[in-house]
Amino acid sequence: MVSFDVDNLYTNVPVHEAIEITLDMLFKRPTPPPIPFTRPQLKGLLEIAVCGIPFRFLDKIYIQIDGVAMGSPLGPILADLFMSNIEQKLNKFSTNKPLVWIRYVDDIFYIFKKQQNINDFLMRINKWHPNIEFIIERKM
pLDDT at 138: 64
pLDDT digits (tens, 9 = 90+) for 28-48: 988 878 889 999 999 999 999
Q: Can you give the pLDDT at residue 13?
A: 92
Of the ranges 13-27, 41-55, 105-119, which one carries the lowest mean pLDDT score?
Answer: 105-119
pLDDT at 140: 47
- Residue 71 backbone class (left: φ over 0; alpha: ψ -120 to 50; beta: rest): left
pLDDT at 1: 77
The whole-number average pLDDT for the span 17-38 is: 91
Instruction: Tell me how far apart the terminal alpha carbons of the chain are, to the nearest angstrom.
Output: 14
The per-residue pLDDT for range 83-99, each reduced to its tens digit, is: 999 998 887 777 777 78
Please determine, for residue 56, whether its predicted confidence score (pLDDT) is greater than 90. no
Give the pLDDT of residue 58: 92
For the chain, which residues make up each domain, given as ranges?
2-136
Taking alpha carbons only, the member of 97, 65, 66, 103 closest to residue 83 is 103
| Alpha-carbon gap, residue 19 to 54, rounded angstroms | 19
| Distance from the Cα of residue 44 to its chain's centroid | 21
Task: Characterise 59 by phi-psi region: left (phi > 0), alpha (psi -120 to 50), beta (else).
Answer: left
Question: Per residue in 123-140, pLDDT tens?
Answer: 889 999 999 999 987 654
pLDDT of residue 137: 78
| Average pLDDT of every residue of the chain | 87
Q: Which amino acid is at 16?
A: H
The rounded distance, in Å, linking the Cα atoms of 4 and 6 is 7
